[in-house]
Amino acid sequence: MTDLTPDERAMTEGRDGPAAAMAMRIVAETARILGAERLIPVTSAHVDGCLYHGDSGVYFVERLVELEGRVAVPTTLNVGALDLIHPERVHADPHATDMARRMMAAYEALGCAPTWTCAPYQVGHRPDPGEDVAWGESNAVAFCNSVLGARTNRNGDFLDISAALAGRAPYYGLHVADNRLATVVVGTASLSDRLKAEDAFYPVLGAWLGAEVAGAVAVIDGLPADMPEDRLKALGAGAASNGAVGLFHVAGVTPEAPTLEAALGGRPAEQRIELTPEVVRAARDALSTAPDGPLDALAVGSPHFSIAEFDALEERLAGRRASRPFYACTNRQVLRSLEASGALARIEAAGIEIITDTCIVVTPILPAGGGVLMTNSAKFAQYTPSNTDYEVVFGSLGDIAESAVAGRVVRDEAAWN
């Protein structure tokens, strides 16, 4: 039985309007099913349910609008099924296009910020350590918990928008301090510094972590203390898309792991795993479903590409042009920055097509007919074969640049050997 406060009970009875009442009832019933003793206030939300998967989701959010719903806390939106800035780049059928547009408009009508990104932390949505929030979208949840140190569970569609309207979430899981302590230690002492300096190591490490530890909380020891945020982003996205990882720690890097002992809460680890080069190489190879050879397309930006990642891609292309269709998914804020700096013109001249508001695995963007797609994203590698007609080859950002120019897979194996 979940205990509601008098304020929460009044909300369920309609004090704040019918939409808030419906949202609070959904949150309270979810809490009961999960065995949560109570609800907790949240300071923000990130909504994943704004991505069109079927008409029922549109009707749900439009019903909240009809009931005069309004979010109670600052709320950002995950990707939709359309690129509203470049609508011609999405090749959905007319019905899906119309319903996706209605859905996106309805979420805006509820007061959500039209960020349309899977990386809200890149557009200023960054709760402080210890804040309780209600976020959806797997990589965003992992980043929020792990890198920012805020507290959220993986809130599914449409619990996320219900929590945003109610300003409450069930108190269970990763909202509970003890559940955030690591039980698994992952050692990296056997891996070379050169491998740890390789950008592709981090999505691979994440994919391995998700498959290996599932829902447990791990602390990774021995990684560089000056890791760029994009590498933590890639690690979390790989872990969340290949397993149920909502939180990981990196000793000496992430906020709840100033030391290995702190991440464990002073308790002995239940499991210790020492990574070897052979294990990491096997995890990298497992991300590819097609052999090295000719390519039909390339894609980056899952999670959405940052300014730093665009800079790195430009540097690796060195003025050359892609010979195959090349897609870079990002958010509107990054697009505006690229325009302002003049980088957008150079990127487009290199044959790269910018996708905003959405990404290539959730809506029809890739050329029809299927083929082989190369990516540096463990998340794209996980979802591309099942969501599109394409098989996938995984590589580093440097591999991506060289392969884009050559039209076939080109690899630098030095760090992996």
Residue-by-residue DSSP string for 225-258: TT--HHHHHHHHHHHHHHS----EEETTTSTT-S
pLDDT for the residue numbered 242:
94
pLDDT for the residue numbered 417:
86
Contact 69, 17 (CB under 8 A): yes
Q: How far is CA 292 from the centre of its chain?
A: 27
**CATH number assigned to the domain with residue range 181-285, chosen from the 4 options 3.30.230, 3.40.50, 1.10.760, 2.20.28:** 3.40.50
pLDDT for the residue numbered 212:
96
Annotation: CATH topology of 6-171:
Aconitase; domain 3 (3.30.499)
Q: What value, to the nearest 5°, has the Cα angle with vertex 305 and ends 409 and 217? A: 95
* Cis ω before 114 (30° cut-off from 0): no
Sheet holding 134-135, edge to edge: 75-77, 45-47, 134-135
| CATH 3.30.499.10 residue window(s) in the chain | 6-171, 288-406
Of 41, 52, 42, whose CA–CA distance to 77 is shortest? 52
| CATH 3.40.50 residue window(s) in the chain | 181-285
pLDDT for the residue numbered 284:
98
Contact 255, 149 (CB under 8 A): yes
pLDDT for the residue numbered 362:
97
The residues, ordered by sequence, that sit 6+ positions from 396 with a Cβ below 8 Å of its Cβ are 198, 199, 200, 376, 412
Q: Does domain 288-406 have CATH number 3.30.499.10?
A: yes
What's the predicted TM-score (pTM) here?
Answer: 0.97
Q: Which helix (H) or strand (E) holds 180?
A: none
pLDDT for the residue numbered 116:
98
Question: How would you write the pLDDT of the chain (417 residues) with one tens digit per residue?
Answer: 689 999 999 999 999 999 999 999 999 999 999 999 999 999 999 999 999 999 999 999 999 999 999 999 999 999 999 999 999 999 999 999 999 999 999 999 999 999 999 999 999 999 999 999 999 999 999 999 999 999 999 999 999 999 999 999 999 999 999 999 999 999 999 999 999 999 999 999 999 999 999 889 999 999 999 999 999 999 999 999 999 899 999 999 999 999 999 999 999 999 999 999 999 999 999 999 999 999 999 999 999 999 999 999 999 999 999 999 999 999 999 999 999 999 999 999 999 999 999 999 999 999 999 999 999 999 999 999 999 999 999 999 999 999 999 999 999 999 998
The structure tokens 């996106």 sit at 104
pLDDT for the residue numbered 334:
98
* Gap between the Cα atoms of 38 and 399, Å rounded: 50
Partners of 39 in beta bridges: 170
Within a 10 A sphere around the Cβ of 342, how many other Cβ atoms?
9
* Gap between the Cα atoms of 374 and 169, Å rounded: 39
pLDDT for the residue numbered 214:
83
